[in-house]
Amino acid sequence: MSENTFYLTTPIYYVNDVPHLGHAYTTVAADFVARFRRLQGRRVHFLTGTDEHGQKVARSAEAQGLSPREWTDQIVPRWTEVWDALDISNDDFIRTTEARHEKPVQSFVSHLHERGQIYLGSYEGLYCIGCEAFKVPEELVDGKCPLHGIEPEVVSEDNYFFRLSEYAGRLIELYETNPRFVMPEPRRNEVLGKVKAGLDDLSISRVSFDWGIPIPWDPKHVIYVWVDALQNYVTAAGYDSDEAAFRRIWPADIHFVGKDILWFHAVIWPALLMALDLPLPATIYAHGFLQVGGEKMSKSKLTGISPHDLIETFSSDGYRYFFMREVSFGQDGNFSWEGMAARYNSDLANDFGNLASRVTSMSVRYLDGVVPGRPDGHELGPFERDLRAVQRRAFEDMTRAIDDLALGEALKAVWSFVRRGNAYVEEVAPWALAKQVGARRRLEVVLYELLESLRLLALMTAPITPRAADELWSRVGASGSVHDCVYERALAWGGLAPGSQVRAGPPLFPRIET
């Protein structure tokens, strides 16, 4: 397929309730990577959306006295407004109740049926409504689902089955020959071990309720919500509706998912694609849980915190930065208000924000806010050369970390340059140069280097703090928007045009008083 499109996805989120921090965590991570790839000059297609079928949604609607359609139409805007508040730059948003999804899903399962990959059988088992999945007794804790804390229901009905068991060998070969297919490594090893223990065929239809996409050849069955949901990644890309778009966009470069839904993405999804000879996604990355008080955030347990509760205090930029920097991506992490305030004040208010304030204020005070001429090579001393070298290394390390999806490490790399900028201010002491007779040109060189450092920091932080980065870009006198740049051209040192107007302003990141 085309190498021009970088296609990444979040899971589509189940709309039995409103979003919490755990959902936003996945979406911010995907947005961080999407924005970085755009700045690299890549053509990006970033998809998110909502998963709207299934028994859990039907019961949530019934509890509110609404039809499933009324419920989903009412609650989906609660999700999109959170993504807007967090400056999520998705290129598409798919709802599984849209015709562009439902019709291709029916086509997909029809092709499976025509190839003999689906058969009718009967099933009896323990079904967790929270997971929308069957459970074996060994997966339960005290008879309850460990994720949702509820006892599964005994379900017995005729279902259509997908011959998942036939794909165990191909899946094992995939995991063993392509270590980036499932990341991080502990998750891949977990999946590999389970698949080596054997696979059962997968029930892909339900007859006990009707809120779903009908099986085309037997409409009293609706397609199992997970089989329906997984296909959003291809239906949104144009499968069975826009062949040119599908060739351009698919396969996905990254599916971002939580570790609780890894099995569906790392086992069921590639097997379904293999059955129709469709290309496989490059990487499925399963991150850990966000926890409050040592427990996974959960809508069903009422431990979910709304992103809106934090954005008002920390801003969207502060929110985005904290979760990508504080939690090692791929592992579980704990959230606390105190921890968020401490990280925000230390990294954003003190380190980054203070550097921006000092440099722009000194430029206005000592140079009337006019960017001075670029330094010649002979005007650069060891401090300037080291500052530039640190910036180059920081961006190289940032790029390498994002390639490896080590998102926290990418931000650590950026902050090595932030800290070097602050150290440089102390080393060269512009306030002292301003008082020295004959030191005017040295002052100009120092402030040009500092203003250029801020311009480069705006570029480097644009994927994670998009609002502050664009504001900083403007304050140092750079033209246009930072988000319209391409790293290959814009990251060359000396890009800030002499004569441009610098302006000071309020703190980019006002301190949080705790």
E strands, 57-204, are 92-95, 118-128, 133-135, 153-162, 182-183, 202-203
Confirm whether 259 is a catalytic residue: no
Confirm whether 148 is a catalytic residue: yes
Q: 385-394 b/e with 16+ CB inside 10 Å = b?
A: eebbebbeeb
Confirm whether 485 is a catalytic residue: no
Token reading at 512: 């949080």
Token reading at 46: 């970033």
CA distances from 497 to 323, 347, 465, 494 (A): 35, 28, 24, 8
The pairing of strands 92-95 and 214-215 is unpaired
Token reading at 495: 């890009």
- Burial-class residue 255 by CB neighbours within 10 Å (0-12, 13-18, 19+): buried
Confirm whether 111 is a catalytic residue: no
Active site residue: 45, 56, 131, 255, which one? 131
H/E run at residue 471: helix 466-475
Active site residue: 53, 56, 145, 485, which one? 145
Active site residue: 56, 221, 296, 485, which one? 296
If you count DSSP H runs as helices and E runs as strands, how many of each does the chain have, helices first? 20, 16
Active site residue: 56, 128, 255, 259, which one? 128
Token reading at 145: 């689902």
Active site residue: 259, 265, 299, 485, which one? 299
Tell me which residue of 242, 241, 245, 235 sits closest to 273, measured CA to CA.
235
| C-beta of residue 48 within 8 angstroms of C-beta of residue 12 | yes
Residue whose tokens read 């590999």: 192
Tell me which residue of 159, 276, 139 sits closest to 224, measured CA to CA.
159
Confirm whether 299 is a catalytic residue: yes
| C-beta of residue 145 within 8 angstroms of C-beta of residue 67 | no
Active site residue: 101, 148, 255, 287, which one? 148
Q: Rounded CA gap, 202 and 119, in Å?
A: 10
CA distances from 37 to 397, 458, 462, 493 (A): 15, 16, 11, 21
Output phi, psi for 234, to 5 deg. Answer: -95, -35
Tell me which residue of 256, 329, 312, 304 sits closest to 10, measured CA to CA.
256
Say if residue 214 is preceded by a cis peptide, omega within 30 of 0.
Answer: no
Active site residue: 20, 53, 101, 221, which one? 20
| Cβ partners under 8 Å of residue 257, min gap 6 | 10, 11, 26, 265, 284, 285, 286, 287
Q: Which amino acid does the sequence have at 22?
A: G
Question: Catalytic residue positions?
Answer: 20, 23, 128, 131, 145, 148, 296, 299
